[in-house]
Amino acid sequence: MQQQIVRTEPAERLIEGGHSYESITHKIGSVVLSYKHPKAWYVVTAIAAAGVFMLITSIAWLLLRGVGIWGINQPVGWGFAIINFVWWIGIGHAGTLISAILLLLRQQWRTSINRFAEAMTIFAVMCAGMFPLLHVGRPWVAYWLLPIPNWTGAWPQFRSPLIWDVFAVTTYFTVSLLFWFTGLIPDFATLRDRAKKRISQVIFGVLAMGWRNSAKHWHRYDAAYLLLAGLSTPLVVSVHSIVSLDFAVSLIPGWHTTIFPPYFVAGAIYSGFAMVLTLVIPIRAWYKMQDFLTMKHLDWMAKIMLATGLIVFYGYIMEMFTAFYSANQYEQYLVANRFFGPYAPYFWALLICNGLIPQVLWSPKVRQNVALLFIIALIVNIGMWLERFVIVVTSLHRDFLPTSWGMYYPTVWDWGLYLGTIGFFTFMMFLFVRFVPMISIFEMRDLLHQTDRHHPAAATTAAATPVAHTEVTP
Amino acid sequence: MSVPLHGIIAEYESAEELLHAAKRARQAGYTRMDAYSPFPIHGLSEAIGFEEHKVPWVVFISGVIGAIAGFSLQYYVSVIDYPLNVGGRPFLSWPSFIPVTFETTVLFAAFGAFIGMLALNGLPQPYHPVFNAPRFERASQDRFFLCIEAGDPLFDRVKTKQFLENTGARLVSEVEE
């Protein structure tokens, strides 16, 4: 059985600036081990910490007063909580796509961004998980969602997508965390060996768990890492498909469609890549990581964003077509209501943010313009949030009977909780950048080794006697 | 009286040198050795004569246990302990049980991969003698090491050292137990 991760020949150099193993290790590792950080780090972290306080306040008030402080009502019972849940979990999905699917597809450019994207997944899923927990109304009995024997004698109802969601999201979070930590072990060992301060040596020593870079360790590590990637790949598809089934299994017009699972998964990847770009662009500039996060990386991420954006846009068109072709008056009214109803501005804004503006990414000039790329990524983030707003609110607020129609207006506490999670997410991401190597150091060394072997002119190590043929063909 | 040895370690500057040296050590008849490198090197574990395929089996068996556990849980809850008529479906409405079964399969298999990899590697391990080797901290940075262990039947303090010195090593030193 072939266990090793077979790496293909890189088509081009993915690391710029004539680096060696030592300089890569120093460049990435010193961000964690030194105490000098760009001013921007302090400014953003302080603002984000304010957001964390806002989050805590919003949750505290919610626990005191109940979900009545939100704008939810009959018929719109889902509101911001579910919009934001789907938005955050979608953002998380790009992390798994980059770390797992691109690994299986042997896309070596993922090496520079996978650690970062996986961290993003973990913090985004944390934000996502808060919303349904708080939305249940009595979070202190949220353990009823889990199959734990309790005094009521009742069990979860396993035919409901909502309970599938509990399993999908908790599994996703756990597996993402295991995958991330597995990837970090060799880097913790590197930091342990480089640390000068006793406290850093002890902390990274404990986290590395005695990792000693042995060939036997690496052998099992490669097998485990590849298998984790292979497990995460169907997992990520299942998670967002199950999220979409929360909607699609119901009978509400606009939700009851079979296109939801693939369309949600594409949307998740779309928004996730937008969030990676939103975070990577400033951090790359502040920490001067342009050698590792090259313009090629930004270009490819922009292309994936464009491609998934087109799939999402196809989803919108199919929804409209299905409504027309179904000859179902409720489905047809839903589409008309989206275009011309009370929430029409949201829908039009969604079409502009997600459908129209990303089309400028066809131009290579735009993809090479970092500032413009950042703005487009922000617009896509907003667009994907609007998409979930339109799906949740326009479907619920006017369903079958005009007597049960209503309107939904978010309150200040809805916004406080939502912006609070953005603060929390940013806060955690910036702590991550500060305390954990933001790029996988050992994979970058491996990438350099691969590249140098195929571009001997650019070799930076003093390899005296290169062995004629070292590759063992699988 | 000298301190007992863990082995003799040689330091190299490139992955190719290490691979070459490991192959030569194998050819010379050494069987108990380990190589250390700052990133996984394709073919290195074969070169030191290490072959093992336990991790995939651990993952597979964990996944099977996860699948059985997930499905049995739902069967017990929905058929035996708390049968509910939901939309006239049979109590054993197995297609609805697939998503949760899938998730528990992945969950258990992922734990199998993580814990299995660590356990087979003997981690966490607070102490290992190879860390006594001079400049070994660079094994996690930019240097490549080959250690022939004292337990090897061919191990000889002088001859093994000479052998390693002839493999193009930058530095050869003894590692204390």
Averaged pLDDT in 10-residue chunks for chain B of 177 residues: 78 87 86 88 84 91 95 93 88 92 95 94 86 84 86 82 83 82
Q: Residues B115, B149: one domain?
A: no
Domain-terminating residue out of B98, B120, B142: B120
What is the model's pLDDT at position A376? Answer: 94
Residues of the domain holding A176:
21-148+157-449
DSSP for A373-406, written as a single string: HHHHHHHHHHHHHHHHHIIIIIHHHS-S-GGG--
Rounded to an integer, what distance in angstroms lies between the CA atom of residue A454 and that of residue A14?
12
Q: Residues B136, B79: one domain?
A: no
Query: Which residue in B36, B78, B89 is closest to A214 by CB distance?
Result: B36
Rounded to an integer, what distance in angstroms lies between the CA atom of residue A55 and that of residue B60?
41
Q: Residues B10, B42: one domain?
A: yes
Q: Residues B62, B115: one domain?
A: yes
Contact residues on chain A for B106, CB-CB shorter than 8 A: 171, 175, 231, 234-235, 238
Give the residue from chain A lying closest to B40, CA to CA. A218
Q: Are A169 and B101 in contact (CB under 8 A)?
A: no
Q: In sequence order, what are the residues at sequence separation of 6 or more whose Cβ sits closer than 8 angstroms to the Cβ of residue A212?
A: A189, B36, B128, B130, B131, B139
Q: How far is A376 from chain B (nearest CA, A)?
A: 35
Q: Residues B67, B40: one domain?
A: no
DSSP for chain B, written as a single string: -PPPEEEEEEEESSHHHHHHHHHHHHHTT--SEEEE-SS--TTHHHHTT----HHHHHHHHHHHHHHHHHHHHHHIIIIIIS---STT--S--HHHHHHHHHHHHHHHHHHHHHHHHHHHTT-S-S--GGGGSTTGGGGGTT-EEEEEETTSTT--HHHHHHHHHTTT-SEEEEEE-
Query: Which residue in B19, B38, B113 is closest to A21 by CB distance?
Result: B38
Q: How far is A375 from chain B (nearest CA, A)?
A: 37
Number of domains in chain B: 2
CB contact under 8 A, A215 and B109: no
Query: Which residue in A4, A193, A210 is closest to B128 by CB distance?
Result: A210
Residues paired with B36 in a beta bridge: A214, B145
Q: Residues B90, B146: one domain?
A: no
Q: Residues B155, B113: one domain?
A: no
Domain assignment present for residue A437? The answer is yes
CB contact under 8 A, B109 and A223: no
Q: Which residue has the tokens 């990438």?
A: A447
Query: Which residue in B17, B34, B43 is closest to A214 by CB distance?
Result: B34
DSSP 8-state code for residue A251: -
Residue A470, chain B, CB below 8 Å: the answer is yes
Mutate to test the interface with A, among B103, B123, B130, B132 (most CBs of A within 10 A): B103
Q: Residues B15, B42: one domain?
A: yes
Contact residues on chain B for A451, CB-CB shorter than 8 A: none
Instruction: Compute CA B115 distance to the chain's CA centroid, rounded to the nearest angstrom.
Output: 11
What is the model's pLDDT at position B45? Answer: 85
Contact residues on chain B for A238, CB-CB shorter than 8 A: 99, 102-103, 106
- What is the residue-level pLDDT of chain A in tens, covering all 474 positions? 444 444 444 445 677 777 788 888 888 888 888 767 888 889 999 999 999 999 999 999 999 999 999 999 888 989 899 999 999 999 988 888 888 888 888 888 888 888 888 999 999 999 999 999 999 988 988 888 888 888 888 888 899 899 999 999 999 999 999 999 999 999 999 988 888 888 888 999 899 898 988 888 999 999 999 999 999 989 998 998 999 998 898 888 888 888 888 888 899 989 989 999 999 999 888 888 888 888 888 998 899 999 999 999 999 999 899 889 988 899 999 999 999 999 999 999 999 999 899 999 999 998 989 999 999 999 999 999 999 999 999 989 998 888 989 999 999 999 999 999 999 999 999 999 888 988 888 888 888 888 776 554 444 443 333 333 333 333
Q: How many contacts (CB atoms, under 8 Å) link A and B?
A: 235
Interface of A with B in 173-192 (CB under 8 A): 174-175, 178-179, 181-182, 186, 189-190, 192
Residue B74, chain A, CB below 8 Å: the answer is yes
Contact residues on chain A for B123, CB-CB shorter than 8 A: 209-211, 217
Mutate to test the interface with A, among B61, B64, B120, B121 (most CBs of A within 10 A): B121
The closest alpha carbon to A178, from B162, B115, B152, B141, belongs to B115
Residues of the domain holding B38:
5-50+128-176
Domain-terminating residue out of B120, B146, B166: B120
Q: What 3-state class would DSSP assign to A316?
A: helix
Domain assignment present for residue A177? The answer is yes
Q: Residues B10, B66: one domain?
A: no
Number of domains in chain A: 1
Rounded to an integer, what distance in angstroms lies between the CA atom of residue B69 and that of residue B76?
10
Q: Which residue has the tokens 């300089």?
A: A23
Q: What angle do CA A327, A329, A330 make, to 5 degrees?
A: 125
Q: Are B149 and B32 in contact (CB under 8 A)?
A: yes
Q: Residues B65, B112: one domain?
A: yes
What is the model's pLDDT at position B97? Answer: 93
CB contact under 8 A, B86 and A157: yes
Query: Which residue in B47, B87, B103 is closest to A238 by CB distance?
Result: B103
Q: Residues B46, B60: one domain?
A: no
Rounded to an integer, what distance in angstroms lies between the CA atom of residue A185 and that of residue B40?
13
Residue B60, chain A, CB below 8 Å: the answer is no
Rg for chain B, CA atoms, rounded: 25
Q: Residues B111, B67: one domain?
A: yes
CB contact under 8 A, B96 and A155: no
